[in-house]
Amino acid sequence: MLIKTRKPSDVRSSEITSESVYKDRRSFLKKSGQFAFAGMGVTLVGCSDASEAKPKTKDSVIETGYDNIPQLRAPQWLKEKVATYKQSGYTTSEQLTPYTNVTNYNNFYEFGYGKDDPAKKAVNLKTDPWSITVEGEIEKPGTYTLEDILKGQDVEERIYRLRCVEAWSMVIPWVGFSLADMLKRFQPTSKAKYVEFHTLFDPQQMPGQRSSFSAIQYPYVEGLRIDEAMNPLTFMAIGLYGKTLPPQNGAPLRLVVPWKYGFKSIKSIVKIRFTETMPQSTWVKSGPNEYGFYANVNPEVDHPRWSQKSERRLPNSIWEPNKIETKKFNGYEEEVAHLYKGMDLSKHF
Ligand SMILES: Nc1nc2c(c(=O)[nH]1)N[C@H]1C(S)=C(S)[C@@H](COP(=O)(O)O)O[C@H]1N2
Ligand SMILES: [Mo]
């Protein structure tokens, strides 16, 4: 994302379609009875022209919301865990971003810089067995298997907006649990002022980590102040759209911090460290004048190379740019503004 400014046209119109268009098309297809599902995992063939409502090839798949979401390769116990999710009060009336966009328009630089690289190259990421090393200022350090971590942990669905620093956004139904629930179990000491997270480092599996021209250093590291980490909004996701997380979205577990730019929501976590001093996060290291530690969504503080006043809500196209105003703290001001009382957010961006 630091490499170049994305143009509004960087979502190919052939990959997306607006909700209303696909709904119209669905009813058209239902009525005409001409359409058979070809299975998921095929790119949504979209258009903004209703006259093209009939799919052209037999590979065409219409996005279907919660129906036909693929069950991915994951251990049976994890699939069952995700399936136990309950609805929660964390929701929004905004239109969900279709599964196709959520899983084919990604940032996961370990698998390349293209938005479609993660979907293509992360397919075989090995996520079982998976364990997480927890260390630093806590009473209960150790290496925990994913199963240990999820044992006795209830999961719920939360529909959150995700606002990327590149000025696009999505609305995603995650499945997971409050990060605070998990962190409390490690019994942080009074010296624990920050929490640092690391993504898997495995160049054999992650082609981006083998590149000598990498824009960022690996492993990918992110961090939160302890009160941010403990805020009820801060979420650990193990699924989306009711199923286990696709590898391109950070399987088997990733952070979701909805009031911050997307780069804080670190994927495929293998290490959590509690520290007394502020972690050195990947993006701050790579460009401290462009990416701050706090990275709170803030329309009043522009990125040095582009405005943060508005965003493209996916899916969009050049005909339907779907440009909306960016909200302070991504619309979660009521829940989190108090964390930054007295701070100059143009300095602590
Ligand atoms: N390990 C890792 N985590 C990452 C990234 C990454 O490149 N590597 N990209 C971040 C960015 S910039 C965004 S916008 C979100 C995108 O999450 P999504 O692809 O699930 O929508 O993941 C974040 N987490
Ligand atoms: Mo991002």
Closest CA to 234 of 174, 169, 147: 174
* pLDDT exceeds cutoff 60 at 51: no
Q: Which long-range contacts (CB under 8 A, 24 or more apart) does 277-281 make?
A: 277/193, 277/194, 278/194, 278/223, 278/225, 279/194, 279/195, 279/196, 279/221, 279/222, 279/223, 280/221, 281/196, 281/221, 281/222, 281/223
Q: Is the pLDDT of residue 54 over 70?
A: no
| Mean pLDDT value across residues 151-169 | 98
Helix (H) or strand (E) holding 144: strand 142-145
Taking the domains of the chain in order of start, what are their residue ranges? 13-340
What's residue 57's pLDDT? 36
User: Has residue 34 got a pLDDT over 50?
Assistant: no
Ligand nearest to the CA of 165: 2
| Any atom of ligand 1 within 6 Å of the Cβ of 107 | yes
What is the Cα–Cα distance from 259 to 240, expressed in whole angstroms?
18
Residue 56 predicted with pLDDT over 90: no
For the chain, the farthest-separated pair of C-alpha atoms sits apart, in whole angstroms, at 65
Q: Identify the residue whose C-alpha is closest to ligand 1 atom 10.
A: 263
Question: Does the beta carbon of 241 lie inside 6 Å of ligand 1?
Answer: no
Going by pLDDT thresholds of 50, 70 and 90, the confidence category of residue 178 is very high
By the 10 Å C-beta count (0-12 exposed, 13-18 middle, 19+ buried), 341 is classed as: exposed
Separation between Cα atoms, residue 221 and residue 199, nearest integer Å: 7
Which run of H or E residues covers position 333?
A: helix 333-336
Query: Is the pLDDT at 153 greater than 80, yes or no?
Result: yes
pLDDT in tens, 290-304: 999 999 999 999 999
CA–CA dist 263, 285 (Å, integer): 13
Integer angstrom CA distances of residue 348 from 164, 263, 284: 18, 16, 12
Give me the pLDDT at residue 109, please. Answer: 97
What is the average pLDDT across 228-234?
Answer: 98
Number of alpha helices (DSSP H) and beta strands (DSSP E) in the chain? 9, 12
- How much is the pLDDT for 4? 40
**Nearest CA-CA partner of 131 in 255, 269, 266, 275:** 269
* pTM of this structure: 0.84
Atom of ligand 1 nearest to the CA of 118: 19
DSSP state at residue 345: T
Quick one: pLDDT at residue 212? 83
Q: Which of the listed residues 102, 264, 267, 314 should we mutate to test ligand 1's pocket, taking the one with most ligand atoms within 8 A of CB?
A: 267
User: Which ranges of 164-266 does DSSP label H, i.e. alpha helix?
Assistant: 179-185, 226-230
How far is residue 117's CA from residue 108's CA, in Å, rounded to a whole number? 8
Going by pLDDT thresholds of 50, 70 and 90, the confidence category of residue 1 is: low
Q: Is 160 in the pocket of ligand 1 (CB under 6 A)?
A: no
pLDDT (tens digit, 9 = 90+) per residue, 255-306?
A: 999 999 999 999 999 999 999 999 999 999 999 999 999 999 999 999 999 9
Does ligand 1 have an atom closer than 6 angstroms to the CB of 104? no
Distance between CA atoms of residues 10 and 65, nearest Å:
23
**Measured between alpha carbons, how far is 129 from 193 in angstroms, rounded to an integer?**
30
Q: What is the mean pLDDT of residues 89-114?
A: 97
Which residue has its alpha carbon closest to ligand 1 atom 14? 262
Nearest CA, atom 20, ligand 1: 249
What is the pLDDT, as a whole number, of residue 211? 85
CATH topology of domain 13-340: Sulfite Oxidase; Chain A, domain 2 (3.90.420)
pLDDT of residue 23: 37
